[in-house]
A and B are shown apart, each in its own frame.
Chain A
Amino acid sequence: MTTFDYLMGGFAVATRPDNLLFCFIGCLWGTIVGVLPGLGPLAGLTLLLPLTYKLEPASAVIMLSGIFYGAMYGGSTTSILLRIPGEAASIMTCIDGHAMARQGRAGPALVVAGVGSFIGGTMSVVGLTLFAPPLAQLMLKVGPAAEFALMALALLVMGFVSSGPVLKTIAMVVLGLLIATIGLDPLTGFPRFTFGRIEISEGLSFVAMALGLFGVSEILLNMEDVLSVKPIRPTLASLIPRAADMRASAPAIARGTLIGFVFGFVPGISHVVSTFASYAVERKLSRHPEEFGHGAIAGVAGPETANNATTGSAMIPLLVLGIPAIPATAILLSALMIHGVNPGPQLVSEHPQVFWGLIASMYIGNLMLLALNLPLVGLFVNLLRIPYAWLAPSVLLICIVGIYSVNANAAEIGIMAAFGLIGYMLRKLQFDCAPLLLAVVIGDRMEVALRRALIISDGNWAALAQDAFSRIFLGAIVVLVALQCIAWRLGVRRKDLVELKSTSEENPT
């Protein structure tokens, strides 16, 4: 039997009426938790997990994975309309997506995000179908040393994310890395900067920080000047992307697919980092980098495609090796184990209906999500008609309920509020919050990766560059730094002049 025959067998499982229904429930619930700020795929999965105990294993994973990739569709909605990230993977979408909404172009932004999500999600499942076993073996080769090199590369690339001045970006990165050190030392268990509070001994909650810096600060900024935020009335014509939008989005979607799929292998934080990387690449390659931050549609299309493209590759380690690489797939692992299905090398032979049924359902689910999300654009855009005085408190309430419902930890509401104030001040001083958040995500992983690598090598720093993957990533760092130095040597080119001009006129974003 070929892969195609197995896949057809999978479709036979996935198209059973009950499984279609479970797939739809998962996708719908995923969209909802994606749209609601604070609730992300993880919360969505954990809330529905107990309900799947009574289902058969294939139906359970079909529904639960629907939540996982469905949330990547929904996340863009509030990012674009309100500049409040619906979930962590939609932080970058806030920047240009909301700028487009301010220009009355929320419709095209949402449509492009939906189409990009569909293409990224579907292509990622194609990759999962065709290359899962070899890619899983490749993934095993990425150890702590290579992970450290990859994180260092991501940190460097981050310099291209921000449209602000370099010094301010570096300041934000350093602050983010400092924040990442809060919590127990991963090696000695010594509490760092916790002031004896057990609430923050595991570090500050990333979702709470992201909601504070992007969501709460946005509401505070708008409150200060209520008159300027006028409800925008959308017309049908304004919902449809123009030909120029499609031309600008198509290459961004193609690159976003590739970036997302590759970043799907980064353990723990793939969906977040892929969006930052995609945004940085789009901005660097664009002929008009000055448009980024002011409504560049490629800045929406790229990241929104990338976060969906991680979903297929994130499934590979789970299905082929039985290893969950990110928290969301850890929940899927539990769901399978409860039913006595142990994912791992024997999954394909012992439970083909689960393995291929799940993969087939992901093709169907992505189609369902496209059909579900495009008509919703017209509905969601109407949110902007609600006067801000009513909208702001309701959104704030949803944020608070959302953040509390994830861990039932009241301290996280406090963290969100504190970072709302910090974000407000930073944005008043024209600092960009995106590099700060990415530095927090990366700093955390980078530190443990480095320290693990050094324990393994018994303190030998040379070991950091001894395996093939770390050499590839370190090589990329050297090339990027060299290119940047050459660019500086050659002097400031015209493109950079424009950039310089645009940053000096920067709005407080």
Chain B
Amino acid sequence: MSHSIRTALLVVLLATTCAPAAAQEKFPSRPLEVIVPTPPGGGTDIAIRLLAELAEPALGQKIVIVNKTGGGGLIGMAQVVQAKPDGHTLGGLWNAPLTMTPHMQPAPYKPTDYVAISLADSAPTVFCVKKEFPANDGKEFIEHLKKNPGKFTYGNDGVGGTIHLSAERIFSKLGVKTRPVPFGGAGETLKNYLGGHVDIYGGSITPILPYIKDGSNKCLMVTSSEKLVSMPQAASLSELGVPDTGTALWHGIVGPKGIPAERVAILEKAFREAARSDKFRQYMEPRGIKVEAASGADFRKLIDSEYAAMGDLMKSIGLTK
């Protein structure tokens, strides 16, 4: 009698101690949710959906994309931070809600409230002009802008947006004064640029590419320290002497802080492999987007340095809250 009770107790004890261990081994145990704080169909949404689809086999679970829009991405990101840190709820984001918007608007989270899991890809911004523009390389472009302070206008993705800030970061360092005209996105910028309403196109590479191919326009500057293979005419920031002012539009995966380290490692491995896959590369590279597949640690460094740089920049141009 007492023996059987003792055995039963032992079984219960074993069961309770073993259960968490077993659960830990089996991660993820249910479908994952990746919150994307933009409407479906945008660049971020497409990149994260593709990445998630490619990470599914390694994780052995479905990944559901949830689009939560509003507040310039702050609402969706707030939800990521508040989620249970068991690794089943993650966020798929671009720069602004992490490093830019929090300086302008009251964000309900700090950079320490989330863990960086992996950086998937990054794409620099290009600055392009009509073929009649009196400059043929980056140096001439900057000199011409300097000679005519406040004369030229450039279209961008909206005030405090990635393109606006990446431009101001370089221009303020080089002492160039132009007038930024905020538009709703690359499409609107392109329309107003092609129609001759603004002088300079500032934006991602894909929309302007057809107009570069037909020779009617030329891109003279790219916001990265290295040159673009597809646009040899565009000067890199190293060539312009300001290699440390580059800001790229990037996409990556983050999660709420407190996810157990071994789970972060599983997620990091799966998402890095997905970004390294041929399918991801084949989608990104023709669009002038660089596949990063960077580690969580490198992603963290990028976020922290960009967060600090953007804070200083936005203070200097009067955009902070």
Contact for B211 among A53, A199, A344, CB less than 8 A: A344
| Contact status of A143 and B158, CB under 8 A, knowing A46-B67, A189-B104, A324-B187 | no
Size bracket, chain A contacts: 35 or more
Q: Which of B17-25, B176-184, B229-237 contacts A (4 or more CB under 8 A)?
A: B176-184
- CB pair A201–B182 under 8 Å, yes or no, is no
With both beta carbons as reference points, the residue of chain B lying nearest to A194 in the complex is identified as B105
A46→B39 contact, CB < 8 A:
yes
A228 CB-CB contact with B under 8 Å: no
**Minimum Cβ distance to chain A for residue B211 (Å):** 7
The one of A144, A189, A201, A344 in contact with B197, judged by C-beta atoms closer than 8 angstroms, is A144
Contacts of B182 in A (CB 8 A): 186-187, 448, 452
Is A143 within 8 A of B195, CB to CB? Answer: yes
Give B306 Cβ to nearest chain A Cβ, in Å.
Answer: 18
List residues 189-238 of chain B with CB under 8 A from any CB of chain A: 190-192, 194-198, 206-207, 209-211, 213-214
Q: Does B113 contact A (CB under 8 A)?
A: no
- A53: chain B residues within 8 A (beta carbon): 49
Q: For the complex, give the distance between the alpha carbons of A145 and B78 in Å.
A: 38
17 A-B contact pairs sorted by A residue (CB < 8 Å): A139-B195, A141-B195, A143-B195, A189-B319, A198-B106, A202-B72, A331-B41, A334-B41, A342-B210, A344-B210, A346-B210, A346-B213, A409-B69, A409-B70, A448-B182, A452-B182, A455-B179
Q: Give the docked Cα–Cα distance between A268 and B182 (Å).
A: 15
How many chain B residues touch A (Cβ–Cβ < 8 Å)? 56
**B70 pairs with A45, CB closer than 8 A:** no
Q: Give the complex CA separation of A192 and B252 in angstroms.
A: 31
Asked if A323 CB lies within 8 Å of chain B CBs, one says yes
Q: Which of A185, A186, A342 contacts B209 (CB 8 A)?
A: A342
- What 1/0 mask marks residues of chain A from 151 to 192 whose CB sits below 8 Å from any chain B CB? 000000000000000000000000000000000111111010
B46 partner residues in chain A, CB cutoff 8 A: 334, 337-338
Given contacts A184-B105, A198-B108, 14 further A-B contacts (CB under 8 A): A49-B41, A142-B195, A144-B197, A186-B159, A188-B159, A191-B105, A198-B107, A201-B74, A323-B191, A324-B187, A327-B39, A331-B41, A452-B181, A455-B181
Residues of A within 8 A of B106 (CB): 196, 198
A296 to chain B, nearest CB (A): 36
Chain B residues positioned under 8 Å from A327 (CB to CB): 39
Q: Closest A residue to B53 by CB, please name it.
A: A53
Contact A198 B70 (CB under 8 A): yes
Say yes or no: is A220 at the interface (Cβ < 8 Å to chain B): no
Task: Indicate with 1 or 0, residue by residue over B29-59, a CB within 8 angstroms of chain A CB atoms.
Answer: 0000000000111100110010000000000
Say whether A456 faces chain B, with CB atoms less than 8 Å apart. Answer: yes
Which chain A residues border B75 with CB–CB below 8 Å? 198-199, 409
Give the docked Cα–Cα distance between A147 and B188 (Å).
13
Partner among A46, A49, A331, A409 whose Cβ is within 8 Å of the Cβ of B68: A409
For A335, the chain B residues whose CB sits under 8 A away are: 41
A345-B210, A456-B197 known; A323+B41 contact, CB < 8 A: no
Q: Is the CB of A322 within 8 A of B40?
A: no
Give A410 Cβ to nearest chain B Cβ, in Å.
10
A411 in the interface, Cβ–Cβ < 8 Å?
yes
Instruction: With both chains docked as a complex, state the minimum distance between the C-beta of A187 and any C-beta of chain B, in angstroms.
Output: 6
Contacts A198-B105, A411-B70; is A321 near B191 (CB within 8 Å)? yes
Min CB–CB distance B71 → chain A (angstroms)? 4
Query: Per-position contact with B for A329-373: 1 when CB-CB < 8 Å, else 0?
Result: 011011101101010111000000000000000000000000000
Once the chains bind, are B191 and A140 in contact (CB under 8 Å)? yes
The distance from the CB of B256 to the nearest CB of chain A, in whole angstroms, is 18
Chain B 60-76 interface 0/1 with A at a Cβ cutoff of 8 Å (1 = within): 00000111111110110
Is B134 an interface residue when CB atoms closer than 8 A count as contact?
Answer: no
Cβ of A408 and Cβ of B71 under 8 Å apart? no
CB contacts (< 8 Å) of B136 on chain A: these are none
Q: How far is the CB of A317 from chain B (nearest CB, A)?
A: 7
Give Cα A18 to B70, complex, Å.
38
User: What is the bound-complex CA distance between A335 and B40, given in angstroms?
Assistant: 11
Q: Is the CB of A407 within 8 A of B68?
A: yes
- Nearest chain A CB to B56's CB is how many angstroms away? 13
Q: Do the beta carbons of B213 and A322 come within 8 Å of each other?
A: no
Which residues of chain B have C-beta atoms less than 8 A from A140's C-beta? Answer: 191, 194-196
Chain A window 132-143, contacts with chain B (Cβ cutoff 8 Å), 1 for yes, 0 for no? 000000011111
A187 x B179 contact (CB < 8 A): no
* Contact of A330 with B198 at beta-carbon distance under 8 Å, contacts A340-B286, A407-B70, A452-B181 already known: no
The reply to whether A456 and B198 contact each other, CB–CB distance below 8 Å, is: yes
Complex Cα distance A198/B73, Å?
9
Chain B residues numbered 161-182 whose CB sits less than 8 Å from any CB in chain A: 179-182
